[in-house]
Chains A and B, each alone.
Chain A
Amino acid sequence: MTEPILRLEGVSKTFGGLKALTDVSFALQPGEVVGLIGPNGAGKTTLVNVVTGNLRPSWGRILFEGKDVAAQKPHEAARRGLARTFQIVQPFPQMTVLENVTAGALFGGGAASVADARDMARRSLDFVGLAPLADRPAAQLALAARKRLELAKSLAMNPKVLMLDEVNAGLNSSEIDGALALIRRIAERGVTVLIIEHLMKVVLSLSKRLLVLHHGRMIADGPAREIVADERVIEAYLGQKYAAKLKELHHG
């Protein structure tokens, strides 16, 4: 097996007395597309925040390309190639779409000059299909377009690992299909993708491997088809009552 690009070893995060993450370990291989699922409040976003330096883990190691980066700041993570999108999109509202993406290319993507960054940004906008809106202020975009803008911005940063935090939340099903196609094309470029998702359908159509987080613990890690049949996962996801009913149905 190759060296993992990102590896977490026993990562925990507490807020005061509250344990948001407990002893989380997993590894991502280069080029892999992995889904991270779990019910609301399971700690998925906290996990992303810990990996990108927005939060510092209370314990544990985070290895990116073999180097411990647990103490990094967000801008260092971005420059290393650890990019993310936010559940609640974070554009620079008064800037145009092109300027937003240019910022990603200039500071995270290692562009040599502003002009250079603008070229990279244009390519990135072409890729996500936002080129026609390049000169609009970001604040004017509808939600689906804003999510694409987030993707374009992340792509312009030339990420090695891209973490997508609920990129599909709030989109309708045709918009979701469009986003899925886009994520697939990003993965084809060799970017390692971690998809944090609520919608099972989305995760299953993209990733062969799933991680399941519940109450801040990693309760399952394995091939997608096996994971969805795992009783603990069903219980965590659907609640004990529903899981019991499901069981009854199968047996009865």
Chain B
Amino acid sequence: MAIYSQILANGLMLGALYACLAVGFSLVWGVLNVINMLHGSFIILGGYLTYFAWHAFGIHPIVMLPVVGALLFALGFALQKLVINRVVSAPVLTTLTLTFGLDMILYNVMTYWFTATPRRVQLDLGAVSLGPVTLPVDRLFGTALALALTLLLYAVMRGSNIGRAIVAVRMDRSAAELMGIRTERIYAITFGIGALMAGVAGVVFASIFPITTNVTGTYLGKAFVVCVVGGLGSVPGALVGGLVLGLVESLAGHWFGPQQAITAGFVLMLVILLTRPTGLVGVRGYE
């Protein structure tokens, strides 16, 4: 039994991280109808900024959180405003190809500047034990932070004017335009928020896992799976998707070995795609 409490705890912690990792991707997909292939690189960029601030200037990751958020928001906003908005209503193939091309550029820039060496912020906070379950403190802390950030986004989407405008555009673009909402601007803000969430997820990840450009694809894959499993374009969807994926990976890893954990995630996604394309939490609006 003890082993299963540990697996459950690991799965839930991983799940919260996945939710935070995917929620921005989900928002962009849901509102803009764009699959953002840059998402994985945004996460790594956030992670690198955190690592170098810590390594070079001794700045604590928690201080970098708002800084990285602001920088990534600016980057995302500018990209959408200047580049992606021009083809935002084109077919999937076009927008996906475009973001893939942009990702190749960002990826190359990052590997050139940072090289592919794995880097990690070592906070050395030790571990705590709760009965049979042992939890590394940095991981626990990261999990809490990831949950807090995800819930913060939820509050912003529900409570602020910008959030409500984004929901309105998602529900019905032309109606939103008739009501005086400038959709191009909302798209840029949404993409900015998507990049911001990726960036802050990167801050959290850099404090727990080694960061390298080699894993951009892995993170992007996780975002796909979480989105499809939970349901597109909603914070609750990303949360459910993240937690389910975390648990499934944790269990599959225990039963079949770590390599199979990833396979299990993708198989789960294919099954959900085919049986419940709206995801486990089939919410229509972004709430």
- Given a CB threshold of 8 Å, the question of whether A touches B is answered with no
A-binding residues in B (CB < 8 A):
none
